[in-house]
Amino acid sequence: MNKHLLMKKLVIIDDDPIDHFVMKHALRGKDYFDTTTYTIYGSLILDYIEENRSEPEKLPDVIILDLNMPIFSGWDFLERFQQMQAGIQKNIKVYVLSSSIRPSDKENAERYPFVRSFMSKPLEPAMIDNIANKQYSN
């Protein structure tokens, strides 16, 4: 079985269009994901997950999440995702990608059992490889 068949859907939640551009560049040439969705609306992604929680093929495999966003922050996303996670029929991996240098942000983010890693911006191609390697080994 091709290991690339294990990951299909990536969702990137970040409010900065420049970061979206950097992430698109980091993903260029990588074939780990069939689809990549870029959004600034974490709450819409949660609504989608909630609506499709019993249809795992529709759900993302990996979410890369920015923490510091206006209106609905990454922290808001993590809290709501944790509350609804038990009803989701897929093990969605969340990777926090932040410009924060506060050690407490890293510690607090990694307290959520579904957060696989806390990474510092900008996203680099090697980080995508690392996510893929973690995905394939779990």
- State the total domains in the chain: 1
Q: How many CA atoms lie within 13 A of 29 on its CB side?
A: 6
Q: Tell me if 66 sits within 8 A of 98, measured CB to CB.
A: yes
**What are 40-88's pLDDT values in tens digits?**
999 999 999 999 999 999 999 999 999 999 889 999 999 999 999 988 9
DSSP run (H or E) holding 44: helix 42-51
Residue 80, domain member (yes or no): yes
Model pTM score? 0.90
pLDDT confidence of 4, banded at 50, 70, 90? very low
Identify the CATH number of the domain in which residue 71 sits: 3.40.50.2300
Residue 107, domain member (yes or no): no
Q: 126 by DSSP, 3-state: which?
A: helix
Query: Residue 115 contacts by C-beta under 8 Å, 6 or more apart in sequence?
Result: 78, 94, 95, 96, 109
Q: Which domain range does residue 60 map to?
A: 11-22+41-100
pLDDT score recorded for residue 137? 53
Q: Find the mean pLDDT for residues 29-38.
A: 89
Residue 1, domain member (yes or no): no
> Is a pLDDT exceeding 60 seen at residue 101?
yes
Q: How far apart, in whole angstroms, are the C-alpha atoms of residue 110 and residue 108?
A: 6
Q: In 3D, which of 64, 118, 115, 119 has the Cα closest to residue 85?
A: 115
Residue 16, domain member (yes or no): yes
